[in-house]
Amino acid sequence: MVTSVRMAPPLPLIFLLMIHEVSSADWGVSYSPSHICALKDSSVIIKCTYTYPTGYQIKKVFWTKTLVINNVEPPDLSEDPEYSQRLQYLGDKQQNCTIRLSHVTLKDSHMYYFRFITNITGGRWFGDPGVTLTVTDLQVESPERVTEGDSVRLTCKSSCTLTDRATFIWYRNSQPLTERRDRNNELLLQSVRREDAGRYSCAVHGHNHISPAVQLNVTYPPRNVSVLITGSGEIVSGDSVTLICSSDSNPPALNFSWFKENESSAVGSGQSFSALQSGRFYCQAHNQHGSQRSDAVTVTVKAATVTVKDRGRYDSHLKVCLSVILLVITVRSFRKLLWWALEWTQRPERALEWIRGLERAQGLEPVCTQPTHFLAEGSGVAAMTGRGSRMAGILRRGSGMTAILGQGFEAVHPCTNTPKMNIPLYENVTVQLSKCPALLIESQ
């Protein structure tokens, strides 16, 4: 019996053909670099290549940040409103899958994947793991306060190491410090000065992003201490001039002392001082870092003077005052002269004759005939004086006459016997004279 045997192809060859058709070695996506650190508001280029088996044609390529789950296609970033205007595909449908993402924000920090689909059913690939993008901003790290003369180091920090080689630029008060441009992210200030104080920020050359500004506070002792005079420095005796002490210091000087030149003890304290006397004065300002004194200023005190602005009115008032004074002096002198005349008793006969003449002119009978002494002075004025312990006389009614009593007189009304000091002479008056009699009769 002849048995025929049909030969089958060798199994290993068939297996190798099947392996070649599904091998992952022909499929893949490569990212370079796989981790990118980008500066906020910059543009990022993500370099990418992909491979697939020979004989396949690419139908669709896109980027996404969502994994494939349960064979559900992830969303295309170019169709996402947050990315559509910023994402640009720079690759092709051959092997290049590079993209550019512009104006990146902190929210863009994520892992991104490339996806391509071929013309063969099941011929598609997802580039996992993807490329990691980290977006960072810049922050200045600085000590809050330094003292003048110290060294200080400022650092421009980011949350990750920038992928692109960066050249840092430093700003003080928004003005670039051109001499401080360096590839190092540190700014070293040796022997810091007060002029170095300010708001510092940093940036990367070629990029728009600038870090928030940080204040560098430089403390130092008082400098440029000076005294301000409120006025000319010349005052009138009894007044005062105010002196004010000012200084440039950080922190501001709160303690001030005032001195007079050539005197060791302070004459005052506080930022202002009232000078009451002539001399040269200076102030000394203090803070916790030291002190400094000012130059001395001169204060001159002059004697008080009077300035008459309205000379005419002043002269008029002066004349009135002088006239009143002269009148008082004249009246007093005249009264003294009259009293002196009353004491003059050398010629009593003339006084007696003058009184009798008055009586005759009025048709009166002379009754006053026995006074010891009489004196008449001037028209319409009669005086009667007497010496001795007592003397009585009667003055009768006379036109326009009044008896004015001096020391030692007692006038008695003839009807009532009532003592009176001023008695009109239209009444009969009895005049009694005592130790130092004196009587003036003045015309009305």
Q: How many CA atoms lie within 13 A of 326 on its CB side?
A: 6
3-state secondary structure of 165: coil
Q: Would you write out the chain's pLDDT as a tens digit for each of its 444 residues?
A: 444 334 344 434 333 333 334 466 789 999 999 999 999 999 999 999 999 999 999 999 999 999 988 889 999 999 999 999 999 999 999 999 999 999 999 999 999 999 999 999 889 999 999 999 999 999 999 998 899 999 999 999 999 999 888 889 999 999 998 665 556 888 988 889 999 999 999 999 888 899 999 999 999 999 999 999 886 667 677 677 899 999 999 999 989 999 999 988 999 999 999 888 889 999 999 999 999 999 999 988 886 554 434 444 445 555 655 565 555 555 455 445 444 444 444 444 554 565 566 556 656 555 444 443 333 333 333 334 333 322 333 333 333 334 444 434 444 444 444 454 444 443 344 444 333 333 444 333
> Which CATH number among 1.10.357.10, 3.40.50.720, 1.20.140.10, 2.60.40.10 corresponds to the domain 24-135?
2.60.40.10
Beta bridge partners of 403: 423, 441
Closest CA relative to residue 349, chosen from 365, 371, 364, 366: 371
Tell me the fold of 223-302.
Immunoglobulin-like (2.60.40)
d(CA 199, CA 151): 17
Q: What is the dihedral of CA 68, 69, 73, 77, to 10 degrees?
A: -50
Q: How many CA atoms lie within 13 A of 191 on its CB side?
A: 0
Q: Return the pLDDT at 406.
A: 41
Bridging pattern class, strands 234-236 and 297-302:
parallel
Residue with tokens 């370079």: 32
CATH for 137-212 is 2.60.40.10
- Residue 38 per-residue DSSP state: E
> Which CATH number among 3.30.200, 2.60.120, 1.10.12, 1.10.405 corresponds to the domain 341-443?
2.60.120
Edge-to-edge strand list for the sheet holding 152-157: 139-141, 152-157, 186-189
Burial class of residue 10, CB neighbours in 10 A (0-12, 13-18, 19+): exposed
Rg for the chain, CA atoms, rounded: 63
The answer to whether 148 and 194 are in contact (CB under 8 A) is: yes
Q: Return the pLDDT at 310.
A: 41
The two three-digit tokens of residue 229, written as one number: 């005079």
Q: Return the pLDDT at 318.
A: 54
**Secondary element (H or E) of residue 338:** helix 311-343
Q: List Cα–Cα distances, 160 to 36, 45, 134, 137, 181, in angstroms.
A: 9, 17, 8, 9, 21
The answer to whether 182 and 167 are in contact (CB under 8 A) is: yes
The answer to whether 357 and 379 are in contact (CB under 8 A) is: no
- Residue 252 per-residue DSSP state: P
Q: Return the pLDDT at 367.
A: 45
3-state secondary structure of 166: coil
Q: Return the pLDDT at 383.
A: 39
Residue type for position 335: R
- pTM, two decimals, is 0.55
139: Cβ–Cβ under 8 A, 6 or more apart, which residues? 156, 157, 158, 211, 212
CA 119 to chain centre: 80
Identical topology for domains 24-135 and 223-302: yes
Q: Domain segments of the chain: what residues?
A: 24-135, 137-212, 223-302, 341-443
